[in-house]
Amino acid sequence: MRFDLTDLRLFLLVAERGSITHGAELAGLALASASARIKGMEERLGAPLLERRRRGVVPTAAGHALLHHARAVQNQIEAMAGDLGAYAGGLRARVRLMANTAATAEMVRDILPAFLVAHPGIDIDLDERPSHEIAEAVASGAADLGIAATWAGLSHLEQKPFCIDRLVVIAARHWLSLAGLHAANLTEIMSESFVGLGLGHPLQEHITRQAARLGGHLHMRIRVPGLDNVCRLVAQGAGIAIVPESAARRYARTLRSLRLTDDWATRQLNLCARGFDELTPQAKLLAAALV
């Protein structure tokens, strides 16, 4: 039985994304080529590695076993790149980083651009995920580093503080129903019309779950990609929204923001790893930049 590194990386991406199409795109392969590689792997093994479902694919028992080893091989390759980087100027290394919505917005604006310019030999795979998925991914080795809310259960991981994430309510300055208010809880604004992020977006799913926990449902007038688009639509009176305070600050001239008083609206975000001392040299550099 022989699987080459391209096979293993492809299978890893497909299994983590739950889609052969998405995995093929990330691996830089045509869909037909990716499908043929996976079929060949299954034929050499003599057992199916993926279970095909209507909404994508999930690993079989054999697939989970292969996933474990594929991650170990990927980690070894990254470690090798890190160890040899000092001797081979052209050798590139890649760090896998997962973060929730608020942390991603903070990093993309300031930290990551400066880091990438300062370290041209290091690439970053940045994946925006819900905090509980980040914790699982770091623990399993699917990500080198993660930034997640502490409520997600990070006690089994090493942690360093990243920032306090506060969610706020934003509205157009002329939005009459919230006039005069400086704070509100989710129950008090549940009847409003909302501008939301796309289906499946980690932050929007978090807010939707909190509304459901209170026995309510948010009326979404429109869903758009990205916090900047949400803020622009809210500023023009399309509805209200719940966003990280850092996003609201960027539009302070055109928006009103109200403190969201629910306990879940203020979260401590921590940088986490299975072990900071065990990271590749490149991942250690990124961790240092993030804290």
Locate all alpha helices (DSSP H) within the chain, ordered by sequence.
5-17, 20-27, 31-45, 61-84, 101-106, 112-118, 131-140, 186-189, 202-213, 227-235, 245-250, 281-290
pLDDT, tens digit, 9 for 90 and up, residues 184-233: 999 999 999 999 999 888 889 889 999 999 999 999 999 999 899 999 99
Q: Is 148 helix (H, G, I), strand (E, B) or coil?
A: strand
Helix (H) or strand (E) holding 241: strand 241-244
Task: Determine the Cα angle at 168 with ends 166 and 174, to 5°.
Answer: 160
In this structure, are strands 93-99 and 50-53 parallel, antiparallel, or unpaired?
unpaired
The CATH superfamily of 88-163+268-290 is: Periplasmic binding protein-like II (3.40.190.10)
Strand partners, 271: 147, 160
Angstrom distance (rounded) from CA 289 to CA 111: 7
Q: Where in the chain is the domain with CATH 3.40.190.10?
A: 88-163+268-290, 166-264
Domain at 166-264: CATH architecture: 3-Layer(aba) Sandwich (3.40)
Q: Quick one: pLDDT band at residue 45, thresholds 50, 70, 90?
A: confident
pLDDT, tens digit, 9 for 90 and up, residues 52-111: 888 889 999 988 888 888 887 877 777 676 666 655 555 578 899 999 888 888 888 789
Helix (H) or strand (E) holding 165: strand 158-172
Domain at 5-82: CATH architecture: Orthogonal Bundle (1.10)
Task: Determine the Cα angle at 93 with ends 90 and 94, to 5°.
Answer: 145
Q: Please give the C-alpha separations between residue 244 and each of 15, 69, 196, 210, 239, in angstroms, as whole numbers.
A: 31, 38, 13, 16, 16
pLDDT, tens digit, 9 for 90 and up, residues 101-139: 888 888 887 899 999 999 988 899 999 888 888 998 899
Q: Where in the chain is the domain with CATH 1.10.10.10?
A: 5-82
Dihedrals φ, ψ of 126, to 5°? -100, 125
Closest CA to 244 of 159, 158, 162, 127: 162
